[in-house]
Amino acid sequence: MRGSATDPRRAAGRRRRRRTAGTVAAAALLLPLIGAAPSGTGPEGRPDSRLQKAFERAAAAYDVPQSVLLGVSYLQSRWDAHGSAPSVSGGYGPMHLTDARTALATAPHHSEGTEDPRGDDARPALLPEAKLPQNAELPPRLRTLTRAAELTGISAGELRTDPAANVAGGAALLAAAQRELGRPPSDDPADWYGAVARFSGADDTATAATYANDVYDVLRAGAQRRTDAGQRVTLPARPGLVPDTAPLRRAGLRTASAEGTECPPTVSCEWIPAPYEEFADGDYGNHDLGGRPASQSIDYIVVHDTEGAWEGVLDLVQDPAYVSWNYSLRSTDGHIAQHVKAKDVAWHAGNWYVNAKSIGLEHEGFLASPDAWYTEAMYRSSARLVKYLARKYGIPLDRQHILGHDTVPGTTTATIPGMHTDPGPYWDWRHYFALLGRPFGPTAPPGSGVVTILPDYDGHRPEYTGCGTPGEPCAPHGSSAVRLYSGPGETYPLIKDIGLRPGGGDSTTGVNDIGSRVSTGQRYAVAGRQGEWTAIWYLGQKAWFRNPAKAPAAVPSRGLVVTPRSGLGSVPVYGRAYPEASAYPAGVPAQSVSPLPYKLLTGQRYVVGDKVPGEYYYAVTFATGGHRVVVGEDQYYEIQFGHRVAFVRAADVKVSP
């Protein structure tokens, strides 16, 4: 059954027809939001209802159902304005109107580190140079703000900076899409499926349909939240709404085949293969063939950002002399491209042990693009893919198995400073895990010996530097990360990381400096409490963070912890779980089990992830006949040791609740 003929948020008799392209109408839309807040004592007169009123006015002016306008905006930005800062793909405001040429400067992938992406010292380091195209023609999906300016007569500057103007621009784009499909204006949200699909900017039918389906899921479920600017916005639920999908067939979009992909049916996915190719002197790229999960279990999913724009990144992953990852995800609409099969090993994480047992997901974006933010469409698409992969391969949905690239450990002491830091402190892990169906929250009574880091993302805005200019403050922004001090107060120095700075240098507030911070969802053993401050064990030392009861940065949790076994004052910590030398067969060189510069000391506790066997995938030649999976007798525990995970030998520690 299709939706009702009228939108309950609007009375048909009070609607205004938009007769001409709207310079005058657009100006009228903006007047109430410029200057003083609306007067009045009712909810509609409150200053925190201005954005809701802007949606109402724009919907009336451009003959778009208000619910459709709200649903599209929610999928783009969750109604946030982000202080007029662009998204990772150059989108502005609640409607995510894109102006990528203004917003983004080209930056190379792997720009913040010097790691060998393959992460295996059994073969020469692979440190390719990124080769993103310069001055490429931007696709229409990255130029929607320009089109909105043409349709409304509102300047590009206003569309970027004024939320009301931005909403009006989005309404004009939806109305134009409806006209281009030959559809009349309608009060019924069910009649706007084709226009919503076109709004996505997708150039293929499957992606456009997936985007529109997500919007209609939002319309059926409804939503209500307070935005990052303190605006209260409500979208009433329409549980019986069934859209008319027929107009999409007339949209003239290409057909993208999902053949060969390993994706859930709930996402749009296509196969763009990374090359397995041999070139000069027996070298090859850009991944290794394998037999997972039969040969090795897949235990981790690693979340990256691309540090580059979609089209250029696809060129990179198809270069046999470059590196690889399993999937890329597009910001504007959540479209997915798969490049490497799950059975094979992509070169993405800078740690061969993790590469051999993981799947890598690259999300279009820039960690330190000032005020970086990611679209709801990409978060949802990524979460669906991760849920699918986790079910298929038995991967637990927690922060010790769903890793950020910034939580992958260095393999040796020498590699630690060069390890990468994406997706960084602006990735919203709290929201991401809610979409995964595993929301973080307290799992133990107050005063427990373990905590889960859980700041309020929007309200938690620690200062960072170096987003645009080295040493200069980044714009205030919600963050998943919590800063650590050497004592219970911000006058104490930041915690030091002797791996990042072997000479004992101080940690900084730099956006890429992970030496003194923890991240949402990570669990740590409590080392002490004093007033509003909580201490955890971190990199072999007590690390303090502010944790007031009214605005907690962490919640009580439970879990297994490890401590040195009796008689050991300290135990070594490793960046990979490799077998003992005696486990290697003839023809496979034994790999050194090199400890990192840290120690797990008596009296300290660290939360356990998995118990795993020592394991090494020997694959240093193009021909696969000599590839071997070596499994030893030594067992390891993965632990949350610092910002990154680490490993300790099971024989060196004892486990307790």
CATH code where residue 385 lies? 3.40.80.10
> What is the model's pLDDT at position 362?
94
Shared domain for 512 and 376, answered yes or no, is no
Shared domain for 552 and 582, answered yes or no, is no
Residue 115 in any domain: the answer is no
> What is the model's pLDDT at position 282?
78
Shared domain for 230 and 244, answered yes or no, is yes
Q: Among all chains, which residue has been given the structure tokens 């002399």?
A: 321
Residue finishing a domain among 250, 282, 308: 250
> What is the model's pLDDT at position 588?
96
Residue 164 in any domain: the answer is yes
In terms of DSSP H, where are the helices of 546-644?
Answer: none
> What is the model's pLDDT at position 2?
31
Shared domain for 33 and 82, answered yes or no, is yes
Shared domain for 599 and 521, answered yes or no, is no
Residue 137 in any domain: the answer is no
Residue 134 in any domain: the answer is no
Flag residues of the chain having pLDDT under 50: 1-24, 27-28, 30-42, 106-111, 132-135, 368, 370
Shared domain for 196 and 345, answered yes or no, is no
CATH code, domain with 42: 1.10.530
Residue 22 in any domain: the answer is yes
Residue 431 in any domain: the answer is no
Shared domain for 311 and 374, answered yes or no, is yes
Shared domain for 45 and 158, answered yes or no, is yes
Task: Return left, alpha or beta for 362; rule: phi > 0 is left, psi -120 to 50 is alpha, else beta.
Answer: beta
Specify the DSSP element, H or E, that contains 51. helix 50-61
Shared domain for 387 and 330, answered yes or no, is yes
Q: Which residues contact 307 (CB under 8 A, 6 or more apart)?
A: 107, 108, 109, 110, 111, 112, 130, 365, 366, 367, 422
Residue finishing a domain among 384, 399, 425: 425
Residue 131 in any domain: the answer is no
Residue finishing a domain among 559, 576, 607: 559
Shared domain for 199 and 284, answered yes or no, is no
Q: Which of 478, 425, 477, 479 is nearest to 305 (CA)?
A: 425
> What is the model's pLDDT at position 104?
60
> What is the model's pLDDT at position 251?
86
Q: Would you say 308 and 132 are in contact if contact means Cβ atoms under 8 Å apart?
A: yes
Shared domain for 602 and 524, answered yes or no, is no
Residue 125 in any domain: the answer is no
Shared domain for 410 and 452, answered yes or no, is no
Domain encompassing residue 313: 273-425
CA–CA separation, 164 vs 73, rounded Å? Answer: 12
Our count of domains for the chain comes to: 4
Q: The pTM is what?
A: 0.91
